[in-house]
Chain A
Amino acid sequence: MNAQFIVDGLIAGSMIGLGAIGVTLTYAILRFANFAHGEFIAWGAYLALAVVAAVPFGMVPIGPFSFGWMLPIAAIAAALLTGGLAILIDWLLFASFRRRGSATIIMVIASFGASLALRSLLEFVFTSKPVYFTRELQIAMPLGGGLRATPDQLLMLGVTAILVIAVHLLLTRTAIGRQMRAVSENPVLARLAGVDVRRVIRTVWCLGGALAAGAGVMAGLLVQIRPYMGFDLLLPLFAAAILGGIGSVPGAILGGLLVGLCEALAVQTVGAEWRAAVGFVILTLVLLLRPQGILGKAAT
């Protein structure tokens, strides 16, 4: 067995983990599985691409990386815009269902509809042809122990670590983080404690959308940009969120890394065609053996 699957798995797992944070936060606070979350990943990548394409400079590679300084700027812009898109979708669709006290299944089905509409809109505007941020070639560097990674891949691992620490600090050390945890535990009591629950919900959508955009830019940089890129990640995203424990940010990233590693191992041992099945198998096993996930708390 080649140990390279560890690097490949960690990189894929970083993207899955970032997306899974949004899934887990949305589920913990709004109590429904948002199947449109994968589309925020694709929209994030395309919005960053649009910014890069609109500015005819700034993509000359910096040092060992394959991209110029415009990509980080475009990624920040895409994160803000995707956060805004997530708030808009909530305002147009889910908020009205919440006001009417609609059943969870209606919210889930609505999220399927939103997913389809968002993906179709991307295909309509950008076509389904794969596109790239850059066509610069990168040589993978030896890391020791037979492992290799490109500078872009190592940078993305570092960026993921920084984003996860930042989100963890936001949740544990700031007022809005405390409010998010409070709403997640008991929305009625949170209102009685003076928390503006609607503001918290907007923050969760924005944060989830922004992190999904980050995952999208990473996927676009390391693989390619396609309208189905987010939809294809949907099962691994949910597998990671459930494996880590719904509501747990460290759990989501840990779950993402484990799913990524399992996928990479499957590619090496049983073949790439089984990769997509790995997320499903993990999801089923976790639900059967430890439904609360690794870092989640059992329902009482």
Chain B
Amino acid sequence: MSVAEASPALAVEALVAGYEPDLPIVKGIDASIGQGDFVAILGPNGAGKSTFVKAIAGLVPIHAGAVTLAGRPITGLAAHLLVRAGLAFVPQTENIFASLTIDENLKLCAGVMPAGKRSERIAAMYDLFPDLAARPTTPAGALSGGQRQMLATARALLVEPTVIILDEPSAGLSPKLVGEVFETLARVNALGVTIVLVEQNVRAALGVARTAMVLADGRIVHRGPAKGLAEDPRLGEMFLGHHAAAGETA
């Protein structure tokens, strides 16, 4: 077994991050995400969920701690190099290039792949998302909310990442489209890709994830199996800020 296979897909140690060094938003998070896992990161508004994943993705400065991807240190690596290392991040909004066509969006991301593999990966994405294959020359800006999310997921998946992080993919979508997006994510996870999902839509996220982490005030206040958490009375307390009562249940 190689080091990469033996290591967690993504590991974070004592991570402190935020836009200003003296105002950390993420206040010392430790987390280990196994290969092939589907993790939902939940928590109330302002808990630091988005900042946490953005710091991992190289978009928010890390002030202390370490991040490793399949055993390889990636702390502070520039965002464009993280993609090449195998970490794909799908932002909450503006996650496609509206002025580029569907095909151009995919070709742009394929640029990080070896030249001989690019066409094969684009074809694989069209197989996985037939809705996109039907209109490759359509400007991405003309797509519906659900199709945009599909394209954003395809862009991330195209580079054969070890881990995909999605920041609230259900934001602004109708309940029907949320179901479709989460179904797609379950299919992607079934291919062996580790997924980290930041979500406000707690029930939908817990419906597809295997593991759940709940953040409050920049710290993890709960981690455990996703199954059954939606019915756990402590979940409400965690969201209302009474995490001291809930305690760390990892």
Which A residues lie at the B interface, using CB under 8 A? 175, 178-179, 181-182, 185-186, 188-197, 297
Q: Among the listed stretches B22-30, B34-42, B102-110, B171-179, which one makes contact with chain A, having 4 or more residues with CB under 8 Å of it?
A: B102-110
Nearest CB of chain A from residue B4's CB, rounded to whole Å: 20
Cβ-closest chain B residue relative to A199: B80
A194 touching B97, Cβ below 8 Å? no
Which residues does chain A contribute within 8 Å of B107, judged by CB atoms? 175, 178
A193 touching B109, Cβ below 8 Å? yes
Which residues does chain B contribute within 8 Å of A191, judged by CB atoms? 58-59, 78-80
Nearest CB of chain B from residue A3's CB, rounded to whole Å: 39
For the complex, give the distance between the alpha carbons of A179 and B105 in Å: 10
Which residues does chain B contribute within 8 Å of A190, judged by CB atoms? 80, 97, 108
Nearest CB of chain B from residue A253's CB, rounded to whole Å: 19
Which B residues lie at the A interface, using CB under 8 A? 57-59, 78-80, 83-84, 88-89, 91, 94-100, 104, 107-109, 111-112, 155, 159
Given contacts A189-B91, A192-B83, contact A175 B97 (CB under 8 A): no
Which residues does chain B contribute within 8 Å of A185, judged by CB atoms? 97-100
Q: Which of B78, B94, B98, B155 contacts A193 (CB 8 A)?
A: B155
Q: Which of B79, B97, B112 contacts A181 (CB 8 A)?
A: B97
A179 touching B108, Cβ below 8 Å? yes
Mostly helix, strand, loop or mixed at chain A's interface?
helix
A178 touching B100, Cβ below 8 Å? yes
Which residues does chain B contribute within 8 Å of A192, judged by CB atoms? 57, 59, 79-80, 83, 88-89, 91
5 contacts between A and B (CB under 8 A): A185-B99, A188-B79, A192-B80, A194-B109, A196-B80
B108 touching A182, Cβ below 8 Å? yes
B95 touching A189, Cβ below 8 Å? yes
Which residues does chain A contribute within 8 Å of B59, judged by CB atoms? 188, 191-192
For the complex, give the distance between the alpha carbons of A192 and B96 in Å: 11
B99 touching A194, Cβ below 8 Å? no
A181 touching B99, Cβ below 8 Å? yes
A193 touching B83, Cβ below 8 Å? yes
A194 touching B83, Cβ below 8 Å? yes
Which residues does chain B contribute within 8 Å of A186, judged by CB atoms? 94, 97
Tell which of B78, B79, B89, B98 has the most Cβ of chain A within 10 Å: B79
Q: Which of A188, A194, A197, A297 contacts B112 (CB 8 A)?
A: A194
For the complex, give the distance between the alpha carbons of A188 and B98 in Å: 14
For the complex, give the distance between the alpha carbons of A197 and B79 in Å: 10
Which residues does chain B contribute within 8 Å of A189, judged by CB atoms? 91, 94-97
Given contacts A175-B107, A189-B95, A192-B57, contact A181 B83 (CB under 8 A): no
Which residues does chain B contribute within 8 Å of A178, judged by CB atoms? 100, 104, 107-108, 111
Which residues does chain A contribute within 8 Å of B111, judged by CB atoms? 175, 178-179, 193-195
For the complex, give the distance between the alpha carbons of A196 and B104 in Å: 17
For the complex, give the distance between the alpha carbons of A297 and B111 in Å: 27
Nearest CB of chain B from residue A254's CB, rounded to whole Å: 19
Which residues does chain B contribute within 8 Å of A188, judged by CB atoms? 59, 79, 91
For the complex, give the distance between the alpha carbons of A196 and B83 in Å: 11
Which residues does chain B contribute within 8 Å of A197, judged by CB atoms? 80
Which residues does chain B contribute within 8 Å of A196, judged by CB atoms? 80
For the complex, give the distance between the alpha carbons of A196 and B89 in Å: 16
Extra contacts besides A192-B57, A192-B88, A193-B109 (17): CB < 8 Å: A178-B104, A181-B100, A185-B97, A185-B98, A186-B97, A188-B59, A189-B91, A189-B94, A190-B80, A191-B78, A191-B80, A192-B59, A192-B91, A193-B112, A195-B111, A197-B80, A297-B99
Nearest CB of chain A from residue B23's CB, rounded to whole Å: 16
Which residues does chain A contribute within 8 Å of B95, judged by CB atoms? 189
Tell which of A179, A186, A191 has the most Cβ of chain B within 10 Å: A191
Tell which of A190, A194, A196 has the most Cβ of chain B within 10 Å: A194
Nearest CB of chain A from residue B240's CB, rounded to whole Å: 33
Which residues does chain A contribute within 8 Å of B97, judged by CB atoms? 181-182, 185-186, 189-190, 193
For the complex, give the distance between the alpha carbons of A188 and B94 in Å: 10
For the complex, give the distance between the alpha carbons of A197 and B59 in Å: 14
Cβ-closest chain A residue relative to B155: A193
Which residues does chain A contribute within 8 Å of B79, judged by CB atoms? 188, 191-192
Given contacts A178-B107, A181-B100, A182-B100, contact A194 B159 (CB under 8 A): yes
Q: Which of B91, B96, B108 contacts A195 (CB 8 A)?
A: B108
